[in-house]
Amino acid sequence: MNNLKMAWRNLWRNRRRTLITSASVLFAVFFALFFRSLQLGSYDHMFKNAIESYTGYIQVQQKDYWDEKIVDNTFAYDRQLEQQLLADKNVEAAIPRFESFALASNGPQTKGVLVLGIDPEKENHLSKVSEKMVRYRLDAESISKIGQDPEIPDKVKELARLFEDNAYTNSSRLQLDLGISDKDAPVIMPSIESFTSFENGYIKMGEPGVLVGDKLSQYLQLGIGDTIVLIGQGYHASTAAGKYEIKGIVKIPLPDIDNKIVYLPLDICQGLYNAEGNLTSLALDVVDNRDKAIDETMARIDKIVTGDKRVMGWREMNEVMVSQMDADNKSGMIMIAILYLVIAFGVFGTVLMLTAERKREFGVLVAIGMQKKKLASVMTAEMLLIGLIGMLSGALVATVIILYGVGHPIIFKGSMAKMFEDYGMEPMMAFLGINTYFLWQIFIVALMVLLSIVYPLSKIFKMKVVNALRA
C-alpha cells in the first residue's frame, strides 16, 4: 500500500510527463477500438443486408434444393408445419417463398433474372420490400428541371448530373447525395422532391404483376406499366412462360441482387412454374439473431422438420460471402497488427523518455538507502497506474464516439459515393456497438504496457549508482 501511495504521488510531481505517457496509452486504446469497431461494424452491416434482403437467418427447404436449385426440388406448403415453427419462442414469422430463375426480356434486351415469389404482406416481416420502393429518381427530365430552377445552387445541379439515373427510397439520402445541408433543406428540398418524385405501385396476391430491381429496370429499359416477359423451366420439365405488367420498382441495398431480382405474388409465381401449392423455402424471421440464439433455434426446429426437408442457417446459405468476409477480416487483422506495432513503439518511446529523464533520480534514491527491489516495485506501480489511466480514458473516449457512430454511420456522398456504387458497394461504413472485441483490444494494449515495464526495471537493476548520479 505504501508503494502504491508513493507511486501515485510520483505521478503528479511531473504532470506533463505523466500526461504524455498516459496519452500514448489513451491513443493506443482509442485507435485500436475505433478501427476494430468500424471494421466489424461494416462486416455486420453487409451481412445484415444480405440476410434480411434475401436469405433470412433460417430457412426450411427440401433436402436437395440447395445443392440443385430446380423447381422439382420443392415441397408442399404445410400449414401445420408453419404453425409448429411459429410456436418456437425465437420465431416471429414464417415467410413462404418460391424461388427460381428465368430469362427476362423486353424486346431486344434480355437478361437472366432471379424470380422470387412472395406473399407481399408476410415478406415485410423480413426483407421489408415495401420500404425499398423507389420514391425519387434523378432521370434526364428531373435533372433538366433542376437545372432550370434559379433557386437551386449550381453545386446541387452539378451533383444531380453526377448521380443521373440514381434512384432513392427516401428523401434524406437524396438530400445527402446532392450535398444539401439541413439548414438549406427546407428551402431547396420541396422543389427537388417535386422534380424527382417517382410514382410507384405494389403487388398483391392473386393479381398478376411484378416488382423489379432498380438496376434491372434500367438495363432492360423498363418503367412502370411496361410489360416484362419471363421464360424458364417449370415443374417436371414443363415450360414456364408469362407476360406481366411492372407494378413497381424496388432498390435493394445489395447491388448484385438489385441487378437481377424480379418479385411476383406467390400464387402467381407458383402458377408460372406449374407448381401450385409448392414452396422452395420457408424463411423464418427471428426475434434474437445472435449466433448462439440462431444455433439453438435451429436445433429445436430440426426436431420438428422431418421427411424430405432440412433446416439451413444463414452462414451455410451465404457461404461464399462468409468466406470472402473472413479473408477480408484476416487482412484487416494484419492492418490492425501493423497499427499495434506503431502503437507499441509509441508507448515504448514514451517509457524510454521517462526512464532517461529519471536516471539521476533513481541514482539518488538508491544512494540514500532505498533498495533496488523497492524502487522497481514503485516504478512498476507507477507504470500500471499510468497504463490504467490511459486505458480507461481511451476506452471512455472510444465508447462515446462508437456509440454515436452506431446511430450515425459514416455515409459517403458526392464523387466518393459514386465510386462506391460503381464498385457495387453501398456507400456507407457502420460501427459495431460495445462487444467482446472491446476487452480484446484493451487486453492487447495492457500487454504492451506490461512489456514496456521490462525496460525501466532492467535499467534499475543494472544501474551503477555513481554513473547514475553523474547523469
Same domain, yes or no: 14 and 117: no
* The domain boundary residue, chosen from 269, 291, 316: 316
Same domain, yes or no: 127 and 249: yes
Number of domains comprising the chain: 2
Residues contacting residue 125 through CB under 8 Å, at least 6 positions apart:
92, 93, 95, 285
* The domain boundary residue, chosen from 273, 289, 316: 316
Give the span between the Cα atoms of 18 and 350, in whole angstroms: 10
* The domain boundary residue, chosen from 300, 316, 332: 316
Same domain, yes or no: 220 and 140: yes
Same domain, yes or no: 361 and 287: no
Which grid coordinates are listed for 213?
430491381
Q: Is 209 strand, coil or helix?
A: coil
Could you tell me the residue range of the domain that residue 164 belongs to?
Answer: 58-316
Full DSSP string of 220-241: HT--TT-EEEEEEE-GGG-EEE
What is the structure's pLDDT at 424? 56
Same domain, yes or no: 82 and 101: yes
| CB burial readout 218-237, b (16+ within 10 A) else e | bbbebebeeebebebbbbee
Pairing of strands 281-286, 428-429: unpaired
What is the structure's pLDDT at 373? 83
Same domain, yes or no: 97 and 15: no
What is the structure's pLDDT at 308? 85
Same domain, yes or no: 290 and 366: no
Full DSSP string of 360-416: HHHHHHHHTT--HHHHHHHHHHHHHHHHHHHHHHHHHHHHHHHHHHHHS-EE--HHH
Same domain, yes or no: 66 and 43: no
Give the span between the Cα atoms of 303 and 262, in whole angstroms: 34
Same domain, yes or no: 238 and 366: no
Same domain, yes or no: 76 and 176: yes
Same domain, yes or no: 162 and 309: yes
Which grid coordinates are listed for 71?
423447381
What is the structure's pLDDT at 98? 95
Most distant CA pair in the chain: distance in Å?
100
Q: Contact, 279 vs 73, CB < 8 A?
A: no
The gap from C-alpha 187 to its chain's centroid, in whole angstroms, comes to 33
Same domain, yes or no: 269 and 236: yes
Q: Contact, 273 vs 235, CB < 8 A?
A: yes
Per-residue tens of pLDDT for the chain, all 471 residues:
577 777 787 777 778 877 887 887 888 788 888 888 888 888 877 777 777 777 888 999 999 998 888 899 999 988 888 899 999 999 998 999 999 999 999 878 899 999 999 999 998 888 888 888 999 999 889 999 999 988 899 998 998 888 888 888 888 888 888 888 888 888 899 999 999 999 899 999 999 999 999 999 999 999 999 999 999 999 988 889 999 999 999 998 778 888 999 999 999 999 999 999 999 999 998 888 888 899 999 999 988 888 888 999 888 888 777 777 777 777 777 877 887 787 778 778 777 877 777 788 778 877 888 788 887 888 888 788 888 888 889 889 999 999 998 888 887 776 676 666 665 566 778 888 888 888 887 888 788 888 888 888 888 888 777 776 775
